[in-house]
Amino acid sequence: MKNITTLLKEGVVLGDGGYLIELERRGYVDSGSRREKVGTGKGSGQFTPEVAIQHPDALRELHREFLNAGSQVLQALTFFGTREKLNRAGYGADTERINSAAVKLAKEVAGDRALVAGSVSRTQLTEREGMESLGKSRDHIAEQIRLLKDAGVDFLILETFFHLAEMKLALECAAAASLPAVATMSFRPLITHCTDGHTPAECARVMADSGAIAVGANCEQDPERMLPLLREMRAATSLPLAAQPAAFHTTPACHSFTRLPAFPDELETIQVSRGAFQEFGKAARPEGIGYLGGCCGCNAAYIRALKVGLTNGQ
Ligand SMILES: [Zn+2]
């Protein structure tokens, strides 16, 4: 299997889709919504990856579906797997077990047909305690990256960071661990600025300067809403762009589905059709997108649609 840097040089790399929302719909992940307002970063926030140790077969099956749909990369379900986030969800003591089990499962399914990426996201400390907590974030992210490296991931996908400052330190941790990293910010409530006030172009430049091998955006917007921000990034860097849009409609006033009342219990009412992803797949090469996948709301049908679009767009 070629490594991620070689694959990116050769053409568009097809990633996988969203795990937590799909597994929540299948009954294996806790959204936390019966107990608290989800999406604020204030409560437990749940949507944590303990499914890797509680229902490994369910996770294995979703990996198989993405692989079968054409994914060249499977993301180990280690999203929200820092000790900080797992502590609040009640699984802090299982941090090592969850991270290593998730990587093992993904590698088992991937075999020599796909690469395995460790997924690392924000700690939520910045949302809860402000920028003074960045030192603590660094420790938590460094710990998780160490666990992922020990478990044998091929590279990292740093995703769903709202603060560029936290992304920057995550990229520093990835470099310290000598793991290549694809880096994608998430923008809410609008695509004009990230939470600590940087434009998409500034984010792209800083992520590129911090050593990312591809930079871009994931989650929050559907493909059509995400495209303008990707174009801003395109103009600011020569690195391949990475795009993993969500499959949910947003509105002109609110460009992020996690800030809409439909999140998390009425998402079916704002689901975007797979056709939009087929169009996005077609646009990927001309738009300079080198890493293409889906985020929340994207099951295997959406990955297959991206692949059809990519193939037709050639
Ligand atoms: Zn997402």
Q: Give every strand in the sheet of 241-244, ordered side by side.
A: 13-14, 289-292, 241-244, 214-218, 181-185, 155-161, 115-120, 73-76
Query: For 25-46, what is the mean pLDDT?
Result: 78
pLDDT interval class at 32 (50, 70, 90): confident
Ligand 1 centre and the CA of 156: distance in Å? 16
Q: What is the pLDDT of residue 42?
A: 63
Instruction: Give me ligand 1 centre to Cα 43, in Å.
Output: 18
pLDDT tens, position by position, 221-246? 999 999 999 999 999 999 999 999 99
3-state class percentages of the chain: helix first, strand second, coil last, to nearest 5: 50, 10, 40
User: Residue 39 pLDDT more than 70?
Assistant: no
Confidence of residue 127 (pLDDT cuts 50, 70, 90): confident
Q: What is the pLDDT of residue 58?
A: 98
- State the average pLDDT for the chain: 96
Quote the percentage of the chain above a pLDDT of 70.
Answer: 96
Residue 155's φ and ψ, nearest 5 degrees, are -165, 180
- CB distance 30 to 49 below 8 Å: no
C-alpha of residue 218 to centroid of ligand 1, in Å? 7
Average pLDDT over every residue of 114-130: 94
18 Cα: distance to centroid of ligand 1 (angstroms): 6
Q: Of 97-101, 123-127, 195-199, which range is least confident?
A: 123-127
Give the pairing of strands 73-76 and 13-14. unpaired
User: For residue 186, is pLDDT > 70?
Assistant: yes
**21 near 257, Cβ under 8 Å?**
no
Gap from CA of 199 to ligand 1 centroid (Å): 20
pTM value is: 0.97
How far is the CA of 209 from the CAs of 181, 233, 234, 243, in angstroms? 12, 13, 15, 19
Is the pLDDT assigned to residue 37 strictly greater than 80? no
Ligand 1 mean position, distance from CA 19 (Å) = 9
Q: How far is CA 251 from the centre of its chain?
A: 22
